[in-house]
Amino acid sequence: MSNGKPLEGLKVVELGTHFAIPAVARMMADWGAEVIKVEGLSGEAWRVVGRNQKCTITDDENPFFTIPNANKKFVALNLKDPDGKAALMKLIGQADIFLSNMRLPALTKLGFDYDALKDQFPGLIYVHFSGYGYKGPDAAKPGFDSVAFWARSGSMLDWGTQGNFPFLAPTGAGDAMVASILCAGVLAAVIGKAKTGKGTFVSSSLMGASVWYNNACVVSTQYGNTFPKDKDHPANPFGWQYQCKDGEWLMIGVVDYADTYRKLMPLFGREDLLEDERFNTIAAVQQHLDEAMPIFREGFMQDTRDNWVERIGAMNIVIGKIGHLSELATDPQAVANGFVVPVTFASGRTVQMPTIPVEFSAYDTAGRYEPTGAVGRDTEEILTQAGYTTEQIVGLQNKGAAK
């Protein structure tokens, strides 16, 4: 493994807020791109969202903000000031990629929309992200992932079971999914530019991504598949969730129902049912679920979750615990594979932080997690690199055009 990174040499300017666009830039930063994040003088909104999640939000310790913003440089500019706008324009002119999720009318008013930049910077890859896309009756609506991704797609209601309260998705989960697919689009544009020398406009949306990620449901509902599911009438009882003796839950997922039935009935002490024609094939059990499900549930209640996972897993049956979010930071499998790594903040506190789940055999991209610090932490360094003198930078700061 070399010490290099696959995106070394790429320069990225991000005018992003919240999670999706910053996460795209974070992935590229981890993979070697130089990423400059431009914020307003008071910082972007995600700096304080952590307080809603019971997290610390100080300059020295802001883990919630650090997740999508680690390993970047931070510049603070006042885009209402002509000199602040000029500084951003200079940074964009020196960049390969510009990313933003600012709404298009606001970008247009500032003069940073794609049409305003494409002729001036024909090689620029311009990346934008919206709630609902650019056409149709909802094109102008703002959209957080809770509304535009989870709620609009039906996932909140239909991923659960009948009668359940709509589930509450973790903050930023939909954004993270969009960021992953949008990052793939950005890298495709980078490859295209290498071939043609031309930049392009790259975009994605929360609603568009939710349709893609719900692809099986989009298609199957047109053939009569219905959601949400009835918890008492699964299509395959051994592709289902069961509560165990200790109150914990497990997930069993098999394709060959009949084979699994023959293996599990003795474990449940129900050898008497092995030849029961109501239950021993998938076609039969689907007609007798009201009788079968209480038997299966009673069987799983005879032992604890972890014991079942070990005993049934030893029979080469796909099964796993249904865990808790609070377990992920210390999950031995997550720790062993570097899915989480310890990060020590300037405050002195060490927190297990999630990592970008992509590895390269030829590049060393693992484990780098530079905390974010204060608004405008790197303004002087970045503007100096862009060609500003110390006197000019001080002048921008004194007049409130930069911080």
Q: What is the pLDDT of residues 38-76, one digit of tens each?
A: 999 999 999 999 999 999 999 999 999 999 999 999 999
By annotation, the residues acting in catalysis are: 175
Q: Write down the pLDDT at residue 209.
A: 94
Q: What is the pLDDT of residue 1?
A: 45
pLDDT at 3: 63
120 to each of 52, 93, 126, how far by Cα in Å?
A: 42, 8, 12
Instruction: Specify the 3-state DSSP secondary structure of 341.
Output: strand
Identify whether the C-beta of residue 101 lies closer than 8 Å to the C-beta of residue 16. Answer: yes
What's the DSSP call for residue 148?
I
Percent of the chain beyond pLDDT 70?
99
The average pLDDT across 112-126 equals 96
Q: How confident is the model at residue 218 (pLDDT cuts 50, 70, 90)?
A: very high
Question: To the nearest whole percent, how much of the chain has pLDDT over 90?
Answer: 87
pLDDT in tens, 2-46: 568 999 999 999 999 999 999 999 999 999 999 999 999 999 999
Give the mean model confidence (pLDDT) for residues 232-255: 96
User: Are the CB atoms for 9 and 193 separated by under 8 Å?
Assistant: no
pLDDT at 366 (0 to 100): 75
Element (H, E) at 117: helix 114-118
Measured in degrees and rounded to the nearest 5, phi and psi for residue 60 equal -80, -20
Nearest to 258 by CA among 242, 273, 243: 273
**For residue 191, what pLDDT is reported?**
97
Query: In this model, does residue 347 exceed pLDDT 70?
Result: yes
Q: Indicate if the pLDDT at residue 391 is higher than 60.
A: yes
Residue 364, pLDDT score: 85
Kindly compute the dihedral angle of the four CA atoms of residues 191, 195, 200, 202, in this order, to the nearest 10 degrees. -20
- Check: CB of residue 161 under 8 Å from CB of residue 233: no
Tokens of 27: 């992935």
For residues 82 and 402, the answer to whether their CB atoms sit within 8 Å is no
Q: What is the pLDDT of residue 143?
A: 85
Mean pLDDT along residues 182-186: 97
| DSSP state letters, 295-312 | HHHHHHTTS-HHHHHHHH
For the chain, how big is the Rg over CA atoms in Å? 26
Give the three-class secondary structure for 256.
coil
Distance between CA atoms of residues 202 and 222, nearest Å: 30
Please name the residue ranges forming H helices in 130-172: 152-153, 155-158
